[in-house]
Structure 1
């Protein structure tokens, strides 16, 4: 997709956190891989369908590819973003050999790439802790499937240079570059790091000053002052609201030193506080956008079933943030549905509390959250 934009126009993006279409979701769709999985307690991916149905009622299996997106399809049509960016946290493969000694393995059948097509996704970030769940053979099939379906992606590749290379989305005479990096802190095994002649992910061992400097220099090699730059990073814990000082420092350094316009963080299973630094948006944790966690007990206090659609608008000429609208949804029956008034108020109060710590506030208006800074 190419956005037709004039020099002084604004651009609207759609961002979301982890899109996990493997395991139970794959089994619910029209095509599925062998349901065998290698978890401590669950050995059949179809059990995740049973868990969801036990809590929220029967799901009509198989579901159409557009079914899972539910209310999101309507919101995408209404908001009409120029580009839709996701973190795709699923291997796309029929390979039967999982990565050894890893507790959870996500994969979906290559034919279920249709689910991304009906959602009109423009970019998939792949530097995360599930893209190699089914080995390097599974990764190569994932890359092949995305390329054949004409999806733009970054963060994983046949070698280090391929994994480092950003997505390039055309905006008239300008370009939107999307870099994808994955940190060990999100659970990415060090062995997954792409090397000179070895496939893998664009990997960050830690956020040391030396590592930060290296990443800044790598981004600068590909981008120019004319480009808009989104830095997608998979980092941090799954649960909890604390944002480490190293993440804040790194986000600021990306903006100051590498000309990054949006820091797009994910890995947390629920949304985290939001910051605007020098008129640039920092999403530290976008939360899961879609998963098969219905019916799984534990961590209920974080309300992981509530998800957000992020719609930032930016000045094309400067990359400065103009506005950020967020639309809450709920994952129920393996579908994105409208969130209730009570749930919207809960997520508003929670994000208000956490974003205030970062110098931003929120306004709740017409069941939508608007960032103020």
Structure 2
């Protein structure tokens, strides 16, 4: 049997999602996708909010949005879905200042949910998460190029922030350091989770393509991208899946009727017994009522068509699998 790992785009549990969850069962936010999530051996998400009722909105610089969720329901919801690890390197983890970030770290630690990408110091923020999934050792690095003011220093909490440019020596050195710490654990699988680039962009820039390939050359087995709020193309480079952007998984955002940021996929990577990625399966999803659901026929067809088109520049070809798609990484 292969090991099955799930990767999602942004999981934003604040604002209207938070309000809705106060009136419904704790697992309602996962809709009819819950059983599929729980059937996975491991689940990795970008947590796009704080887990706290404390702190105060960030006012040191201009911020249009501030996201936080009540940990009384949000932590049990993450547990019910079987979330194993959260990427925290993003542009919302400090939305309610340091006390809410501290709460987030503590709540995840208490729940036994691994995290990477933000921490109490820069060293902590860049530290890889390490966890065991179905007898395989996984190392998980989380990085972002968003929101410079949220970057951690050696004396202040924040995010693992870098520039995703192979020609940027300082940024490349920081990533090399994080990867070296991850490889020192001798993991069976190394994941780099990247919150990169601007919103509502359908195509990654050439600099991100070069950086993703460099990461694979450095030993990364899965590149897990997010930030654009819409899914981007998939590349298979040296047999490794590069998910340039996994879009939005659950949130309360306004929907762009052309880009349909309410539609994406659960990205399922299947591994060999030794931890080598051998297959990528994409299960279409859509957001409705502040919850994620299995995509209906029309939405699934739309997403399949768009993913094929957005992946064409990478010469990635898909086979149909139910309402979703599958890619053989050994081909």
Q: Which band: TM-score by shorter chain?
A: over 0.9
- Equivalence for 1:27: 19
SS in 2 for 1:204: coil
Contact 2:193–2:225 (8 Å) recurs in 1: yes
Match of 1:255 among 195, 216, 237: 216
The whole-number CA distance in structure 2 between the counterparts of 1:173 and 1:66 is 27
What is aligned with 2:260? 303
- Give 1:245's aligned residue: 206
Q: Answer yes or no: is 1:122 the counterpart of 2:84.
A: yes
Aligned pair count?
A: 323
Structure 2, gaps ≥5 residues long = none
SS at match of 1:102: coil
Match of 2:106 among 121, 144, 157: 144
User: Which residue pairs with 2:319 in the alignment?
Assistant: 363
Deviates more, 1:244-253 or 1:360-369: 360-369
For residues 277 and 315 of structure 1, the distance between their equivalents in structure 2, rounded to whole angstroms, comes to 17
Q: How does 1:1-373 map to 2 (within 5 A)?
A: 10-30=2-22, 62-77=23-38, 80-100=39-59, 101-112=62-73, 113-171=75-133, 174-184=136-146, 188=147, 190-209=148-167, 210=169, 211-224=171-184, 226-257=187-218, 259-293=219-253, 296=254, 299-317=256-274, 319-372=275-328
> Residue 351 of structure 1 contacts residue 362 of structure 1 at CA under 8 Å; is this kept in 2?
no
How far residue 326 of structure 1 moved from its aligned partner, in angstroms, is: 0.9
CA displacement, residues 37-82 of structure 1 (integer Å, 9 cap, x when unaligned): xxxxxxxxxxxxxxxxxxxxxxxxx0111111111112234xx321
Mark the structure with the bigger radius of gyration.
1
Deviations 1:304-335 (A, max 9, x none): 11121111112343x54311111112211222
Deviations 1:197-246 (A, max 9, x none): 21111111452521224312431133145531000010012112121111
Q: How far is the alpha carbon of 1:251 from its aligned partner?
A: 0.7
Query: Contact 1:155 / 1:165 at 8 angstroms: preserved in 2?
Result: yes
Measured after TM superposition, the shift of residue 10 of structure 1 is 3.7
Spell out structure 1 runs of 4+ moving beyond 4 A: 171-174
Secondary structure of 2:249's match? coil
Greater mean deviation of Cα atoms: 327-336 or 154-163: 327-336
TM-score, scaled to structure 1: 0.82
Greater shift in the superposed pair: 160-169 or 123-132: 160-169
Q: How large is the Cα RMSD of the aligned pairs?
A: 1.7
SS of the residue 1:239 aligns to: coil
Tell me the secondary structure at the aligned position of residue 347 of structure 1.
helix
Q: Which residue of 2 aligns with 1:57?
A: none
Determine if contact 2:249/2:286 at 8 Å carries over to the other structure: no
Which sections of structure 1, spanning at least 5 residues, go unmatched? Answer: 1-8, 31-61
1: distance between equivalents of 2:202 and 2:243? 13
